Chains A and B, each alone.
Chain A
Amino acid sequence: MGLRLRVLATLCAFMFAALGVRLWFVQVLNAQAAKDQAQRNGIRLVAVPAPRGRILDRSGDVLVDNRPSLVVTVNRQEVGDREESVLFRLSKVLHTPVRDLLARLNDPRYYPYTPIPVAFDVSKRVAFYLGEHASRFQGVETPTLTVRDYPDGDLAAHVLGYTGQISADQLKDPRFHDYGQQDVVGKSGVEASYEQFLQGHKGEEKLLVNSAGKTLKAIGGRNARPGDDVVLSIDTDIQKLAEESLHLGIQAAHADTLPATAGAVIVMDPNNGQILAMASYPTFDPAFFVKGFTARQYRDTFEKPGEHQPLFDRAIQGTYPAGSTFKPFVALSALNHGIASETGYYSCPASYEVPGDTSHTIFENWAFPESFGTISLPTALVISCDTVFYQFGYKFWLDYLVGGKQEQLLQNDLRRFGFGHPTGVDLASENAGVIPDPKWKSEHFKPTTEDPYADVWKPGDLVNMSVGQGNVAVTPLQMAAAYSAIANGGKVYRPHVGLRIQRPDGRVVRSIKPAVDDHLPFSKQQLFFIRQSLMGVVSDPSGTAGFAFRGFPFGEVSVAGKTGTAEVAPFVPYSWFAAMAPVEDPKYVVVALVEQGGHGSQTAAPVVRRILEGLFGLPLSNPVTGQVQD
């Protein structure tokens, strides 16, 4: 009996030994892994979104705000194989074709298997209905998201830019290392360039959850830090004035059968580089990007032929031949290098031929076949005599030859105005433009059988450059910055739209100070001489903008300006006008460009005139397409 009991007792002892050994393994040797796993199981971290900073104009008016929006999202992973029926029901509730819903879900901008918004700003009734019938709308949720709000509609749309879900490429960018797949980022304009301030810092809530995912209680975390507000140098009133004027000018051009397909206008304070208004036409409604869209809707809105790429910001991205608006810069360079003098007289024939040119290429004056005889430099600017400047261009060619083909006197001076490289404005995707030189030409042209010297730097290149043609390409913003430097006596300010960064409560975090990037290599006297000369352009009846500025009260506000007619074969010329006022102490520089707007005197000058009238509180004129005077 005792022996058999001992057999049974021994079996029991083995059981205890087995359990003890196993406990040692599980609880002592392997404890850390289990502890980590238990932590992962029971504690859930939930990101608390940080409200994006607002964008304000210089006087504190809100240009971009936030607002809550009821959104319908679909998570494909949760929908699973019931996608067809769920989308069909959803299409009925949202009154949206299934095809559009599918297009949204297939939108490459979103990560698959995350909740993808298919409808924004749905009514509470719809959200309630979807919640009530959750079983029939598997994977469908109706969260309230914070979206961008634009109280002034499309005002300054290109400057403000738009936001969107972070792209896969951006996520790989180290600058976005702490962003998540669902995060909204600035895609263009100030939204993109001031992203780091606008974004804020996400908060994190640490929640204790049970196995069913139900939150039991919050166990700490950290608060979200809202993004900072960005205050712009933009003045809402001036912006409205500029956009309206550009629009009216383009309408007037249309009435005069000019294509006038697009344009840009900039109002800048020449004494600090602050951009007071900047517009590009055609424009877009940034709210389009708030609501979400299908690829087809995007194409229909922005890529339709005849729409002329409304997302393209012509003020900083469009590059154009400068045309005659270049002449003040060329004149200054000529004065600087002894090619021209303030008291000199120059012949203004109907056409010009480069001496010794065996091809006998004829460079005509715009007034061909009229000849103006021998004229002063101011007159050459006022009537915009091309042939005078062709001769300057040829002189620069001679300097080039004398200098052992090293000299780039004209190009160097033009670059110091800010041409040929980005101005450094605080906006994304600025274009550099082109100031061509021998090296650039050899890189961008290849010899052909027709023209075996196509890649060679020739006198014609400098002759063309002297009137802002050839391969010269400038942005309207570069033009505004360069005229500002003439206006303020030689300081090349870096243009900027940001004024300061401040906390939501108004405490200033950072001020954006004016930055002088360069000083023009010209004397105060030379710059004064040019400003004085340019007054005749608008006030002299023979000036190229004389007709456009007919009746302007120069006694109250003195204006200096310059027209430009950029030849862009095979199109109707592009119309330029740049102005500063008042000339004695310029407070504003205004630049307008209208693609296929004809001559500078025709479309751009009346636009600038109206803006100047608005800036100085004068009665506003209606832009009438000006006479061809340049």
Chain B
Amino acid sequence: MEITAGRSRSWAEPLRRIDPVLLSTAFALAVIGLFMIYSATHQSLQALRLDAAYFVKKQIAALVVGLLAMAFVAVVDYRLAKVYAPFLYVGMLFLLLLVRTPLGTAAKGAQRGFSVLGFQLTPSEWMKIALIVMLAAYLSELKERDLGIRELLRATTIAAVPMFLVLIQPDVGTTIVLATILVGVVIVAGTRARHLGVLALAAAIFLAGAFQVGLIKQYQIDRLTGFLDPKNGGQAAQAAHYNRDQSEIAIGSGGLTGTGYLKGIQTNLDFVPEQHTDFIFTVVGEQFGFVGAILLLVLYAVLMWRAFRTAMMSKDPFGTYVAAGVAAMFAVQMFVNIGMTLGIMPITGIPLPFVSYGGSSLIANFMAVGLLLSIQLRRGQLGS
């Protein structure tokens, strides 16, 4: 392997290959996130006589860590990740198991993370990255260009283990993201459409079985299906219905140009729940209106575009698969999150990439950007 080949070249040369569009887009989203988090939380914090910028400061700390992590991942050759992928993958699985022990902390009925030095660490966020790398490593090692059913099942198994662990936390949202990463990567790796169909069928059967044995709880079903028929359904569906209504009212009341920063009735007065995390898009929608919301979508589109571009320019399948996995991850998170606030997607706990409050998610997202940068930096080094 020529992983040390870069050292012979000028130190500064790879810097010229850094993608400024990708970098500034991700950074811009994170900064927008800081402003949105402030708007969403300052009033409640003041009411509690706390520092109005409490959440913002924590998010800035996570942003600094995220940027450092990104730089580290970008500098290190991504092909090293291929080597260490199994260790990363197993390590994350271990952490996912560890949150189920008393070491893990529970929040809002789910056991998802650890409390370290006042920061809430959520391994399932990093599991996404680990899964992308693991799947890309496995699929890129296959000799045949065409993916068979056996290979697909192996890839599915790789994804299914963490999906299961995340599902029982319970965290349906992240489970969906992991599943989407699997689908995204295997599509790019060349699976056949009918094989994907078989996979979907198996998933459906599994989910039905999981519900039967009580692995999936009724409220999760209610929440997932509540958006289809909001008038009926159980208590969780009603609550979800309320959340969705308030969220839609918030976004709708923004109109074309919004109410102005910090002037949202719905968002600044706490009518929208979880508005600094899962429902952060309502702040954008209410305070900056249709124009602001579309601009945010454009930023995500640019992010997608740079990810796909990275996949195209990667000189090895591993890089392509990683970039495709990252693109799938960002896309599904953005779509399900914003769709949920607009009432066209079920309500699940998926953060809006770069914008939602949450350190682990922000760091994982910047690490994903770091992977893309690393792939871009080394696109010309595969000639030998």
Docked CA distance A502–B249 (Å): 49
The answer on a CB contact under 8 Å between B184 and A34 is no
Docked CA distance A212–B251 (Å): 20
CB distance from A37 to the nearest CB of B (A): 5
Q: How many A-B residue pairs have CB under 8 A?
A: 131
**Contact of A618 with B by CB under 8 A:** no
**Contact of B156 with A by CB under 8 A:** no
Partner of A26 from B43, B248, B270, B300 at Cβ < 8 Å: B248
The answer on a CB contact under 8 Å between A5 and B249 is no
**Contact of B334 with A by CB under 8 A:** yes
Docked CA distance A528–B93 (Å): 119
**Contact of B142 with A by CB under 8 A:** no
The answer on a CB contact under 8 Å between B297 and A20 is yes
The answer on a CB contact under 8 Å between B269 and A27 is no
Contacts of B248 in A (CB 8 A): 26, 34
Contacts of A22 in B (CB 8 A): 339, 342-344
Known: A27-B256, A37-B253. A5 touches B328 (CB 8 A): no
**Contact of B293 with A by CB under 8 A:** yes
Contacts of B317 in A (CB 8 A): 1
Contacts of B254 in A (CB 8 A): 27, 31
The answer on a CB contact under 8 Å between A12 and B331 is yes
Docked CA distance A31–B248 (Å): 10
**Contact of A42 with B by CB under 8 A:** yes
Number of interface residues of B (CB under 8 A): 49
The answer on a CB contact under 8 Å between A41 and B251 is no
CB distance from A32 to the nearest CB of B (A): 8
Docked CA distance A31–B43 (Å): 25
Known: A8-B324, A208-B269. A27 touches B339 (CB 8 A): no
**Contact of B27 with A by CB under 8 A:** no
Known: A23-B290, A210-B270. A28 touches B308 (CB 8 A): no
Q: What are the interface flags for A1-43 relative to B under an 8 Å C-beta threshold, 1 for contact and 0 otherwise?
A: 1101101110110011011101110111011011101110111
Q: What are the interface flags for B218-259 relative to A under an 8 Å C-beta threshold, 1 for contact and 0 otherwise?
A: 000000000000000000000000000010111111111000
CB distance from A333 to the nearest CB of B (A): 77
Partner of A37 from B249, B290, B293 at Cβ < 8 Å: B249
Docked CA distance A576–B286 (Å): 80
The answer on a CB contact under 8 Å between B331 and A19 is no
The answer on a CB contact under 8 Å between A9 and B308 is yes
The answer on a CB contact under 8 Å between A216 and B269 is yes
In residues 380-398 of chain A, which contact B (Cβ within 8 Å)? Answer: none
Partner of B249 from A9, A11, A41, A212 at Cβ < 8 Å: A41
CB distance from A546 to the nearest CB of B (A): 84
The answer on a CB contact under 8 Å between A5 and B188 is yes
Contacts of B18 in A (CB 8 A): none
CB distance from B245 to the nearest CB of A (A): 9
Docked CA distance A20–B269 (Å): 26
The answer on a CB contact under 8 Å between B339 and A18 is yes
CB distance from B157 to the nearest CB of A (A): 22
Known: A27-B251, A34-B249, A41-B265. A8 touches B188 (CB 8 A): yes
**Contact of B85 with A by CB under 8 A:** no
Contacts of A257 in B (CB 8 A): none
Q: What are the interface flags for B297-341 relative to A under an 8 Å C-beta threshold, 1 for contact and 0 otherwise?
A: 100110010001001100001001000100110010011001100
Categorize the interface residue count of chain A.
Answer: 35 or more
**Contact of B187 with A by CB under 8 A:** yes
Contacts of A212 in B (CB 8 A): 270
Partner of A35 from B187, B188, B253, B311 at Cβ < 8 Å: B253
**Contact of B353 with A by CB under 8 A:** no
The answer on a CB contact under 8 Å between B289 and A27 is yes
Partner of B312 from A2, A11, A208, A209 at Cβ < 8 Å: A2
In residues 480-499 of chain A, which contact B (Cβ within 8 Å)? Answer: none
From A12, which residue of chain B is reached at the shortest CB distance? B331
Docked CA distance A208–B44 (Å): 13
**Contact of B271 with A by CB under 8 A:** yes
The answer on a CB contact under 8 Å between B252 and A30 is yes
**Contact of B294 with A by CB under 8 A:** yes
The answer on a CB contact under 8 Å between A19 and B256 is no
The answer on a CB contact under 8 Å between A210 and B43 is yes
Residue picked from A7, A11, A208, most chain B C-beta under 10 Å: A11
Docked CA distance A82–B246 (Å): 31
CB distance from A20 to the nearest CB of B (A): 6
From B298, which residue of chain A is reached at the shortest CB distance? A16
Partner of B252 from A8, A9, A31 at Cβ < 8 Å: A31
CB distance from B323 to the nearest CB of A (A): 9
Known: A41-B266, A209-B269, A214-B47. A5 touches B253 (CB 8 A): no
Contacts of A39 in B (CB 8 A): 265
**Contact of B33 with A by CB under 8 A:** no
Docked CA distance A30–B253 (Å): 9
* 8 nearest A-B pairs in the assembled complex, by CB-CB distance: A34-B252, A42-B265, A38-B253, A15-B335, A31-B255, A27-B290, A211-B270, A34-B253
Sample of 13 further A-B pairs with CB below 8 A, known A12-B308, A210-B269: A2-B312, A4-B188, A16-B300, A18-B339, A20-B297, A27-B251, A27-B254, A30-B252, A34-B248, A37-B253, A38-B250, A41-B249, A42-B271
Which residues of B pack against A, CB within 8 Å? 43-44, 47, 184, 187-190, 246, 248-256, 265-266, 269-271, 285-286, 289-290, 293-294, 297, 300-301, 304, 308, 311-312, 317, 320, 324, 327-328, 331, 334-335, 338-339, 342-344
Sample 26 A-B pairs with CB under 8 A, ordered by A number: A1-B312, A4-B190, A8-B184, A9-B304, A9-B327, A12-B331, A15-B331, A16-B301, A19-B297, A19-B342, A22-B339, A22-B344, A23-B290, A23-B294, A23-B297, A26-B342, A31-B255, A33-B252, A37-B253, A38-B250, A38-B286, A41-B249, A41-B265, A43-B265, A210-B43, A216-B269
Which residues of A pack against B, CB within 8 Å? 1-2, 4-5, 7-9, 11-12, 15-16, 18-20, 22-24, 26-28, 30-31, 33-35, 37-39, 41-43, 208-212, 214, 216
